[in-house]
Structure 1
């Protein structure tokens, strides 16, 4: 330590005082006249800006007396230099050189100063940080003893505590209380709704289409019962029977439909529709099978009327026409509704004899099924004669 160092320290105290006065208004501008509360706020500002602290005893030792006869430890000098805006005590002296003064790059520390520095570093983690509200603080003169004239041991320091935060308690809104109390009821309602949608999704999301059928040649409704098979992917076909003059209603959520339509007197028809652009109602034309129609016509043709010679001629004509239309190997079945017979097989001649015998029951002949071969010959007939009781 040299006398120049003591002079540098006096300069440093002035810089520290100037730095503190930039943002705070103590009770006196002169640092040597600061009182207890001024010292407390200075310590806080020092911790905030230089990340270090000096004790109140050190403040009284080095700031209340001017000039000092003993230089503070190097750690305190560095701390005050940083607070004043310099990087270190060496940097401060370098920028405040006296005439003829030379500085050493590495000044040796005394053993006592090194020990004090180690103690300061080890205790730095225990320093309590206290936040001081920013802004300048003005003080009213207090009627207390002059701290400058008293010893540090006899001073009474009043600590000021400031509230850190205000907790505002808000009562829960009625809306939140409602949802909290009725949470289970709301969840149950949602689950029931979802279950209903899943259970009736086919009915909810399906659409109904209407298909009617007409005779393509005659422009009238078909005269036979239609059999419709709806082909579904990866499922067995669905079978429907539609009576003459009725329409077919089909509900589905599929995008396509494939129908196979058969009737005794009409040609087989397969219908494919893209339902995304299809109309809700459609009229489908069925082409009559001329051979089947002729066989049916001659089967039910009335041969009664006129004299006996004319009647014999009509019967002969009808037999010849049926002989030409029906194959010699045709399989013919007559279906009964009673429990005794059920079904009976007829050959070609027996069938022709049956339908050429003058009787009123021929008007009730109902052809259930009729098939032909590639040459147009009828190879299969399934028919039924409806009794008067069934017509009632």
Structure 2
């Protein structure tokens, strides 16, 4: 077993450890979202008291195939997160398991042949059962309820709720595709810019759209951050109308450098003058008070 093969096993161990804290995540590294990455960074820091950057995760954990082994100090961190003393122990344990499996392999060729045939038969039966029980999938296009325009994948997240489990599903070309296994399957769509929407997947329904109602104040805030409006006084007056007096803003810094805190006055001052750094900010979460005003914002730089 090569070091790269052992590293692939370590990546799977990290995913399993992550799922212990976030059981609703049932995907793989390919669909590991930016929010999942932020969650993992926090978990690793809590467990090991050491840091893993977002860029490092994109470079070494997200790829399906790794052609180069990462630095040993980073391998030590992930091994410790997985419950081992370090990379050396993780390698030793995995090579030990492989050696034991080789010792247990039958020596007689005819016995091996029967095992292979049995595996093939079991695989054929499993494939047959899967396809015979497979139900047709349904596709739903995500649209703005008022403008009827499709919604960008980066602005929303979609989940399937089935058997009380919440599983994130990918969004491609403003569409979600889901297979309904029972009549209680639901789709939940969340976004900082749109009202949360939950629909029941009905195999007999002709509905092929999920219409999301925009949050007016969140949309206005997005426009302020992305636009080139130079009228400072107008911006100040409009911001005052949509932001709560008790506003709290958390800006998550790049490269896991921590976070910055802003109140209403400081955040409004930052938005009054449109800059490139403000335009590049991505809103991750918005909460409103009882009057509908924005009282909490989480932003990623």
Shift of 1:354: 1.3
Q: Distance in 2 between matches of 1:225 and 1:241?
A: 13
Q: Distance in 1 between matches of 2:245 and 2:268?
A: 11
The answer to which structure has the higher helix fraction is 2
Which of 175, 189, 205 is the aligned partner of 1:278?
205
TM-score (norm. length: structure 1): 0.42
Which of 150, 153, 169 is the aligned partner of 1:240?
169
Q: Distance in 1 between matches of 2:222 and 2:121?
A: 57
Shift of 1:278: 3.3
Match in the other structure for 2:234 = 317
Is residue 2:262 matched to residue 1:336? no
Contact 1:299 1:355 (8 Å CA) reproduced: yes
Which of 288, 297, 302 is the aligned partner of 2:214?
288
1:67-82 to structure 2, matched below 5 A, reads none
Structure 2: gaps (5+ residues): 1-115
Q: Distance in 2 between matches of 1:365 and 1:191?
A: 52
Contact 1:355 1:362 (8 Å CA) reproduced: yes
Structure with more contact order per residue of length (Cα contacts < 8 Å, sep ≥ 6): 2
Match in the other structure for 2:129 = 201
Is residue 2:277 matched to residue 1:361? yes
Q: Distance in 1 between matches of 2:131 and 2:267?
A: 49
Match in the other structure for 1:349 = 265
Which of 195, 209, 213 is the aligned partner of 2:142?
213
Contact 2:187 2:199 (8 Å CA) reproduced: yes
Query: What is the total number of aligned residue pairs between the two structures?
Result: 184
Measured on the aligned residues, the alpha-carbon RMSD in Å equals 2.8
Q: Which runs of 4+ in 1 moved over 6 A?
A: 188-191
Q: Distance in 2 between matches of 1:200 and 1:194?
A: 10
Structure 1: gaps (5+ residues): 1-187, 305-313, 386-392
Shift of 1:193: 5.0
1:275-306 residue CA offsets vs partner (Å, 9 max, x unmatched): 2x135x812111111121122223333233xx
1:148-193 residue CA offsets vs partner (Å, 9 max, x unmatched): xxxxxxxxxxxxxxxxxxxxxxxxxxxxxxxxxxxxxxxx989965
- Answer with 368-377 or 192-201: which moved more: 192-201
Contact 1:302 1:358 (8 Å CA) reproduced: yes
1:36-47 to structure 2, matched below 5 A, reads none
Which of 225, 228, 251 is the aligned partner of 2:155?
225
Shift of 1:261: 1.2
Structure with bigger gyration radius: 1
Shift of 1:267: 0.8
Local SS of the residue matching 1:214: strand
Local SS of the residue matching 2:225: helix
Is residue 2:178 matched to residue 1:250? yes
